[in-house]
Structure formats: C-alpha cells, structure tokens
A and B are shown apart, each in its own frame.
Chain A
Amino acid sequence: MSTSKPTITFSRRDFMRTSSLASGGILIGFNLFTACKPEAKPPVDLASLNYNDFNAFIKIADNGAVTIFSPNPEIGQGVKTSMPMLIAEELDVAWDKVLVEQGVLDTNNYTRQVAGGSQSIRFGWEPLRQTGATARQMLVNAAASRWGVDPAECSTSEGVITNGAGETLGYGDVVKDAAGMEVPDKVKLKKKSEYKIIGKDTWNVDLDKIVTGQPLFGLDYKKEGMLIASVIRPPAFGQKLDSYDDSAAKQIEGVLDVVPFGDKIAVLAKDTWTAMKGKKALDVSWKNDSKLESTTDHDRILTGLLDGKEFQTLRADGDVKKAFAGADKVLERTYESPFLPHNCLEPMNFYADVRSDKIHLVGPIQTPERTAQEIAEKLGRNPDEIHLEMTRMGGGFGRRLYGDFALEAAEISHKAGKPVKVVFSREDDMAAGIYRPAIKYRIKAAVKDGKVTGYHLKEASVNSNMYGLIPNFFPAGAIENYQVDVAKHDSNITTGAWRAPYTNFLAFAEQSFFDELAEMMEVDKVQLRLDLLQKVKGTTDERIQYSPERMEEVIKTAVDKSGWGNQPDGVYQGFVNYYCHNSHVAEVANVEIEDGMPVVKKITCVVDCGIVVNPLGALNQIEGGVIDGVGHAMYGDFAFENGVPQSGNFDSYRLIRINEAPEVEVHLMENDFSPTGLGEPTLPPAGGAVANALKAATGKRLYKQPFIKYPELLTVPEKEIIG
C-alpha cells in the first residue's frame, strides 16, 4: 500500500545555501521542491545559483530576529501559517518572535510552487523541518567553535544556545559565523514529544491585516499608471466574435481605450466602474462557431454513455460479469450531478505590465509557473523576462489553477502598451468559468450468500474523467470482482478541477449506494463497511491508496462520538466514511424535522490526517470543508441553455449561508503518522452523510444533486410531522 509519506531522497547540499547579508545577519535558502520530489532534478549548476533559485528562505538578523518566507500560494488553506511553523519548530525559535512573509515569486527561478490537491503540508513536512534543523545545527556549530567545545554538548531553546558550562549565546551573536559554516549532512529532528510549535494552536499570520482591511488581495493591488480592463467574452460557449461597435462605449467619460483581442474585447479606464460601464455599452454581434450545448443535451449524452459500450477501464479485479451472472441479488443505481462554478468570493483578476524588455505580473494564482510559461508562449517572449508575484487569494477551490485571466491581462497590456489589471465582474466570473463537469455515476453490485461479490462503477463525465488514483480508493481491494470504467463527452464548455475533483460527487454516489446495499442485504450499514474493510487488511496490492486500519479507526470513533444507533427520538442520522487526498474521514449527519421540513442540524466529523500541525487552522479547514460540502450538495446548481450559463450572480446561484450551516463537531485522531492536508478531504463525505440522513428522516432516497431541486423528495411522512 502507498498510504504512507511520499518517498523522499535528497542531499542537503542540493537544496540549501547560506550567505551573509550586507544589511547584517544571514539568509538561508532552500529549494523545497527539489528536495521533496523524488522525480525532480536539482538545478543544473549548483555553484552558479543565486538566491533567486531557492523558493523559501530563513533570514536571521544580527539581533536574532527571524523572518521566514513562506514558499507556497495561500488560498485560505492556511499554509502561510503552517509551513513556516515547521521550519520554526526545528530552528528552535519562539513562534511569537517569527515574522512570516510570502515568498516573492519569480516563475523563472522558482519552480513547482503550486497550491492544489491538499499536498503542501504532506510534501513540506520532511524538507521544511530538515531545513529548520540544518540552520539550527549551523548556529550551534558556530557557537561551539567560538567556545572551543563539542557541538554535542550544546543545546538550544527559543533562539539561545547553551553549552555544557551554562554559558549562552543568542542566534544573533553567532549568525555571521554560521553563514560560513559547512552545511551539515545529517541533522537530528525533534521527537513529537519535544514539539513546542507543531501541534499547538497557531493564529493566522495575516489576521491583523485581514480584520483591519489592509490591502492583501489581487483586487486590492495598485500600481502607478495602471488601467482597469473590463472584458466582454462570447456569451455562449460555442460562439465567437462577429463584429462590434464601440462608439457608445468610447463616448463614456473616462473610457480610455477599447482593445479587441481574439474573440474578446477589453474596455480600459482608470477606475473599475467606468471600465465596467464601458463594457456594457459595447454593441457586439456574435456568431455560432460550434454546437451550442444545453443541460438537456448533457443529460441525454451522459446517460447514453453509461448505457453504451465505449469505456476505458481504469481498474479491473476478477470478473465482474461472472459475479453478476452468479449473484443472488443485484443492485444498480445511477447518480447525477450538475456543472458547478467555483465562485471564489474574490472574482478573477490579474495585473500585467508587458514591456519590450520585461513582463511584470501580479495577482492571485495557484499555478504561477505554468501561467508564466503560457504567457511567454502566447506573446512569443522568453520566460526569463517574466517576473510574477502572488497575492493572497480570496479563495481558490481549483479555479485559480487556470491562468486564463492572467493571459488576458498580458495580451491586453501587450496590445495597449499600458499596465492593466483585468477585473472580472461577478457575472464575468460565473459565465467565464472553468467548471466542475457534470457527471453521472452508475454503480452495480452483486451479492451472493450474504457477501458483496461484485462491484462495477461507471463514470460518464464532460471533457475529462477521474484521475488514476481514485479507482484505488475504498472499496477497491475489498471486493473480489471490482471494475471501474470511464467515458467522456467532449464539450466546448470549459471544465476543470473543483475542490476535491471527482470525489466531491463520487463520495455521495458510492456512500449512498453502500447504504442502499446494506438495506438490500438487511445488514447494519456501518457493519457492512467494516466487514468490507477486513478483506483489505494485509493486502499486498501496492495500488490501494487507503489504510483499512486507519479507516476502521475513524469509523469506530465516529460511531462512538456521534451516538450512532443511540440517537434520541426525532434525530435521523446518515453515515459516511471516505478516503481522499491522503486523509481518512468519517462523517455522521444529524437531520431533525422543523416545521414539517427535514433540517441538517449537525455533522460529526472524524479525521485522521496524521500529526496535526496547527489544530486551530485544521479545525477551520475541516468545518469549512464540511459546510461547503453540505451547501453544494443541497443548493449548488448550474445549467446551460444553448451554451449560455443560466446563473449569473448570487441572486440566481445559491450558496449556503450561516443560518443554513449545521453545527460541525470535529474529532481528530491522535497518532504519529506524517501529516496530510486538509483543504479538501472533509468536503466529499458531507453530501452523502446528508443524503443518508435525509433518507432516514423522509424514507426517500436522493440520487441527484442539488437536493433542493427535488422538493418532493424532501417531504416528511405525515406521522413524523405530528408532535
């Protein structure tokens, strides 16, 4: 099994360098991603590198003050706090004396800096601690050398080094000497019991700025001479620009330029409102370029794919056909989900200043390197000319993995010869989405002699199918005859990753299915899941991603903490266990009847993400992920009519609000496993837990999201309303 930490092999010399700073103190640079990715190659010529070649730094000033530059993009997942915590722990400094800054990004020199897949902490765990420990050892070696003692007799605490005789030196006292010390090849990492920072509640490093409204986000970024660009794009997927008349737009006071590019037109003004007004005043004709698709088409096409024979098989164990042929009972169900927009509350935006000698880019982006490369390619420029800085992001959810808005900014700046910031209106943001694709799952199970003998999962999706690891999630390995098949429809509607891609809906489908399977088999719902897990224990199948033991523990803990099976009258529960993004999760939803309607009152969420780096941040991610999962399962809907999105703003697209949010009770498993990320794994199980609880409350099963679209399935039998 491959549930443990990623394989890490590196030489410290490959990723660390130190030097004295002209302003005093030392700078320690390290290349996190060269260090942690086995497939990554070290930079070509280490001796020739300068500090721009490293993607995170520790700066120690002569007075001992420590600044840690956080390497990864911050989208609200908390890594700007938690990643520096790992360095500070092993550096052995007091956290309240550490200043954290976002590493300045330059995609030419910095590589593999991505926020995505809940992987930052998982991949950062080893190298970030190694880096802190290495810096600490160099400081200790410098102090020992000054004292003329063995470094082994020295200890550190909160930035102070003490020798065997009880003499002390601060990090600042020896920082200059340390810069000249050789980088040690081996350092000792702390034991878990020695942690002073890891595992302690640590507050968001940008908290003060956020609560006082200081500029932090891309939309807040300003630069002298910058113009705002409001862009009109084809209103339907499948349309392109035919002709346009910009005379009315140009008459608006403050509109400075109208710049057509590709099938889009940008209106430039000094301020946002004027640019947006100018865009509205454009008179544009569009022409059809390819088929204009509607939700009814997708519904029919995806069903056709599931009924058809053209599948790619991603995993096949045993012989499912044989299992179905010899089954006592067979259950087959189909589950359907709509497209979803990301709706980051900060709409897409990006600043670009394209000049003949250099390109300056600033804004919120989860994939700076790829985006810079795309811009260089688009403009026929050398990537070395690009300097890209990242801002804090008002949400990501996968949308900012795609740099389309940054490309627009670069193209407009290039054409207009001015620095511009592209700003999407909410309507632009919803209409120019890179949506979660609509997906249908069909699941079929065979039961013989009271055992599940066959399981066949089929996926029909728009544009892309589940990634390769997913077929190895639960219940892979638990059922002898097991097959996962996928098919897709190629559409002109743009689609991509949306928080917990595929699993965000697959978890609902599979976990609803297990409940129904248990009902058919007349066995306890949780017991069915536990029984399935037994077969996976001790498996030698390296492809299996989850640990049956850890899954079993979260299930048992969830049963215990939620009072599963012992709920008071009037409380209806739904159970889900799930593995994705390297974490094991179980959730129990409590539904109660209020005014004749079922209401989701509480979710008990048990998480095994290994060692919890920052419990305060972890709880926030978990609670948010659960409520986001409930919200989109309940309300998230996005339809197309002849290529045109049918929702344009929050008056026609429903997001969950505080009065609809259930209480979330969180339990974190305590163990010594290396930590895994929390940005995604608690979202997928939530929809299934709610659906299973609603079934318990209403007697009706939901097969389609969003649930709110099927009010007839959300009614309560008369007998439940009385009293």
Chain B
Amino acid sequence: MPTYQIKVNGASRSVNVSEDTPLLWILRDHLDLVGAKYGCGIAQCGACTVHLDGQAVRSCVLTAAQVENKEITTIEGLSKDGSHPVQQAWKEVDVPQCGYCQAGQIMTAAAFLDKNPNPESQDIKSAMQGNLCRCASYSRIYKAVEKAASNMS
C-alpha cells in the first residue's frame, strides 16, 4: 500500500492506506481521531466535516492524495481544550441531544464564521443546511452559531 504524508492538526503523519481510502477512515481508523463521524459516506450529512486549509470539507469523499500538502484540522485540533468560540457557544447553549452530528456541525460553523463574522439569519441557515441532525436540535444549532458570532465580534 502506498504511503502518504498528511498534516493533521499541525502534525505531519505518515499513513499506509490504499489509494481510494477516504480521509474520514484514515482519521478514524489509522490516526485514532474519531471526532469526525461517519454518517453517509456520500457527502450528504456533514457528520464527517473537517477543515482543509480552513475550508469546511466532507472527509468521507476525499482521498489521501487529495489532501497531501494541505492543512487538515479536525474537531480535536480546533482548540486544545474546547475553548474555540464556536465550541464555547455550543456549550453555553447546550446544543447536543445524542451528540453524534455535533462535531461536524461545529466544524461547519467555525469555517463559516471565520469568513462571515457577522452573518444574517438566512446566511446561517444556508451555511448549516448541509449538516443533518437526526435529533433535530436545529433551534439550538442556530442559536449557538448566532451566539458564537456575537462572542467573536
């Protein structure tokens, strides 16, 4: 199997995987970073969202070759201690029910707010609509993104 050098949360990591292995499974099965979740495998639910050079991407449809020489950030690397303003807002609002989708929600929100620090209501809904929450904690996801935006400004 080929070896790939990928940069995750600031550290260079070497992985031996088949060339079609999605980044999601590299993170979860080979690098013990299980924060990004498997939900659909076809970029429809957003549970696997990570940052690639600061952009929110679906790690379930990216391969190692596509992410070499790029900066990957997972929920584990968003902050050292859960202190990122989006994580803080998620805690203040007490967003999760089952919690399974929330890492993906937070990663989408963090990348979005980084580029749109003062979003309108409709911007938040458009930005977050790619992330499914089966428990439908959408009211709180919305509130937390709003709160994170106000905390960051």
Contacts and interface: CB of A to CB of B under 8 A. Distances in A.
Given A213-B76, A664-B139, A76 B97 contact: yes
Interface string B116-136: 000000000110111111111
B106 A211 contact: yes
Interface residues of B, number: 60
Interface stretch (A270-278, A467-475, A517-525): A270-278
B135 A628 contact: yes
Contacts, number: 188
A204 B139 CA distance: 16
A273 B27 CA distance: 12
Given A76-B135, A345-B45, A211 B91 contact: yes
A210 B99 contact: yes
B112 interface: no
Interface in A74-125: 75-78
Interface stretch (A375-383, A392-400, A573-581): A392-400
B24 to A, nearest CB: 9
A604 to B, nearest CB: 13
Contacts of B137: 620, 623-624
A220 B103 CA distance: 13
A355 B113 CA distance: 51
A346 B135 CA distance: 11
A463 interface: no
A426 B40 contact: yes
A187 interface: no
Interface string B76-106: 1001011000010011001011111111001
Contact of B47 (A203, A345, A621, A657): A345
Interface string A29-54: 00000000000000000000000000
A345 B42 contact: no
Interface stretch (A477-485, A647-655, A700-708): A647-655
Given A273-B25, A273-B29, A658 B129 contact: yes
Nearest to A666: B139
B136 A394 contact: no
Nearest to A663: B139
Contacts of B30: 271
A623 B126 CA distance: 20
Nearest to A628: B136
Contact of B132 (A216, A222, A392, A655): A655
B126 A659 contact: yes
A621 B140 CA distance: 11
B130 to A, nearest CB: 8
B75 interface: yes
A75 B99 CA distance: 9
B56 interface: no
B41 A217 contact: no
A207 B131 contact: no
A395 B18 contact: no
A347 B100 CA distance: 10
Nearest to A207: B91
B97 to A, nearest CB: 4
A425 B90 CA distance: 28
B136 A627 contact: yes
Contacts of A169: none
A661 interface: yes
A631 interface: yes
A572 to B, nearest CB: 22
Interface residues of A, number: 65
A347 B38 contact: yes
A213 B78 CA distance: 10
A658 B138 contact: yes
Contacts of A397: 134
Contacts of B87: 211-212
Point out which of A222, A397, A620 has the most chain B C-beta atoms below 10 A from its C-beta: A620
A392 B82 CA distance: 20
B94 A650 contact: no
A193 B9 CA distance: 50
Contacts of A271: 17, 21, 25, 29-30
Given A273-B22, A273-B25, A393-B98, A212 B140 contact: no
A395 B97 CA distance: 8
B136 A656 contact: yes
Interface string B45-58: 10100000000000
A650 B136 contact: no
A254 B138 contact: no
A213 B29 CA distance: 15
A277 B22 CA distance: 12
A216 B21 contact: no
Interface in A614-663: 616-617, 620-621, 623-628, 631, 649-651, 655-659, 661, 663
Nearest to A202: B94
Point out which of B29, B47, B102, B142 has the most chain A C-beta atoms below 10 A from its C-beta: B29
B129 A253 contact: no
A538 to B, nearest CB: 39
B33 interface: yes
A203 B94 contact: yes
B141 interface: yes
Contacts of B82: 208, 211-212
Contacts of A596: none
A215 B7 CA distance: 21
Given A204-B94, A394-B99, A395-B98, A658 B131 contact: yes
Contact of A204 (B17, B35, B96): B96
A214 interface: yes
B47 to A, nearest CB: 6
Contacts of A394: 37, 98-101
B135 A616 contact: no
Contacts of A396: 98
A192 B101 CA distance: 36
B11 to A, nearest CB: 16
Contacts of A345: 37, 39, 45, 47, 98, 100-101, 132-134
Contacts of A270: 29
A15 B87 CA distance: 41
A206 interface: yes
Given A271-B25, A345-B37, A655 B139 contact: no
12 contacts: A203-B91, A207-B91, A212-B75, A212-B82, A213-B75, A217-B37, A273-B25, A392-B99, A393-B98, A620-B140, A627-B138, A658-B138
Given A392-B98, A616-B94, 10 more contacts: A76-B98, A210-B103, A212-B35, A272-B29, A345-B98, A396-B98, A425-B41, A623-B137, A628-B135, A628-B136
